Amino acid sequence: MDYADAADYEVFRRKVMMLTGIDLGLYKSQQMQRRIRSLLDKVGAATFAAYGNILQRDSEELKRFRDHIMINVSEFFRNPEKFKELEKKILPELLRNSPNLNIWSAGASNGAEIYSIAMVLDDIAPRGYHKLLATDIDSGAMAQALAGVYGALDVRNVSKDRLAKHFVKEGSSYVISPKIKSKVQFKMHNLLADRFERNFDLILCRNVVIYFTDDAKQVLYGKFRESLKDDGILFIGGTETILNSRELGFASTSPFFYRRAPLGKEAAAL
Ligand SMILES: C[S@@+](CC[C@H](N)C(=O)[O-])C[C@H]1O[C@@H](n2cnc3c(N)ncnc32)[C@H](O)[C@@H]1O
């Protein structure tokens, strides 16, 4: 990228920060620019700065922009074999320590992930007072989660029993039951800017950090660690790995599951 391009993107970055609170500097620059360029082409903007001006005066385009850069793909029981492990091993272990679990789906998109957890808990620990929090930066995704209406592809990994028990079929759609919906609290939250709640037994952050810079990821994982109880678990996406997990204070229990562990100095003092 030459100097003029970099300066153009920087002006745009600042405008987006002002309009949305999203700092594009914390997302991988090349991938993000490629995604945004397709929007420039659609509206005929010659530069990022010109597109920024359009975003400032056109709230519809601003919404389109937010939806486009935040990729919302999700589904129930995504990576079913990992959800099996969660159901058969991870959650039962956590439940032995505390019968009422505190769980956070961070970057929850349309809610399919946290509703999957709610269904599992309804089967394996129905008497617990579990706290299930789902957050996302994208208001469209949160609205979809609250509506709880899904298509056949979204529910393709849901067992027949759970489909019958927790959904109502309306035409070609599947609507989540009020019982499961009532178990989850949804909130707007920017993982790169907002305050984190604490005391979680389990945090799911899956398929969210793919576009974050390495530095932003390191800070984020550090904050997740702080938000977990001792021995709490971080569950990440099926294409992700935390390379320096020990340094960050995590022990890898099996692929995609990390347990909070003492940090270097804490470990040495034990
Ligand atoms: C691909 S979806 C993942 C949904 C779900 N976790 C899963 O694995 O099926 C990624 C979500 O991350 C959200 N996201 C991206 N950047 C974010 C940020 N800075 N703070 C919170 N959510 C963010 C997007 O809005 C999107 O809904």
**Pocket residues for ligand 1 (CB within 6 Å)?**
70-74, 78, 107-109, 113, 136-138, 141, 189-192, 206-208, 237
Which pLDDT value is given to residue 265? 60
Going by C-alpha positions, the residue among 87, 101, 99, 115 that lies closest to residue 186 is 115
Which pLDDT value is given to residue 87? 98
- 174 and 259 housed in the same domain: yes
Residues 6+ away with beta carbon under 8 Å from 175: 148, 149, 150, 167, 168, 169
DSSP letter at 90?
A: I
Residues 6+ away with beta carbon under 8 Å from 243: none
- 85 and 38 housed in the same domain: no
Which pLDDT value is given to residue 71? 84
Compute the distance between CA of residue 156 and CA of residue 176 in angstroms, rounded to an integer: 14
Across the chain, which has 270 residues, the per-10-residue mean pLDDT values are 84 96 93 94 96 96 89 93 98 96 98 98 97 94 95 96 97 97 97 97 96 95 98 95 94 95 70
CA–centroid distance, 206 to ligand 1, in Å, is: 8
What range defines the domain where residue 124 resides?
80-269
- 143 and 162 housed in the same domain: yes
Residue 162 placed within a domain: yes
- 116 and 166 housed in the same domain: yes
Question: Pick from 43, 69, 95: which residue ends a domain?
Answer: 69
What residue's CA is closest to ligand 1, atom 26? Answer: 72
Going by C-alpha positions, the residue among 160, 153, 154, 165 that lies closest to residue 118 is 165
Which pLDDT value is given to residue 4? 74
Chain segment 231-247, per-residue pLDDT in tens? 999 999 999 999 999 99
- 64 and 108 housed in the same domain: no
- 139 and 63 housed in the same domain: no
User: How many residues can be counted in the chain?
Assistant: 270
- 187 and 140 housed in the same domain: yes
Burial zone of 254 (CB within 10 Å; 0-12 exposed, 13-18 middle, 19+ buried): exposed
The domain that holds 125 is classified in CATH as 3.40.50.150
Which pLDDT value is given to residue 263? 86
Chain segment 149-193, per-residue pLDDT in tens? 999 999 999 999 999 999 999 999 999 999 999 999 999 999 999
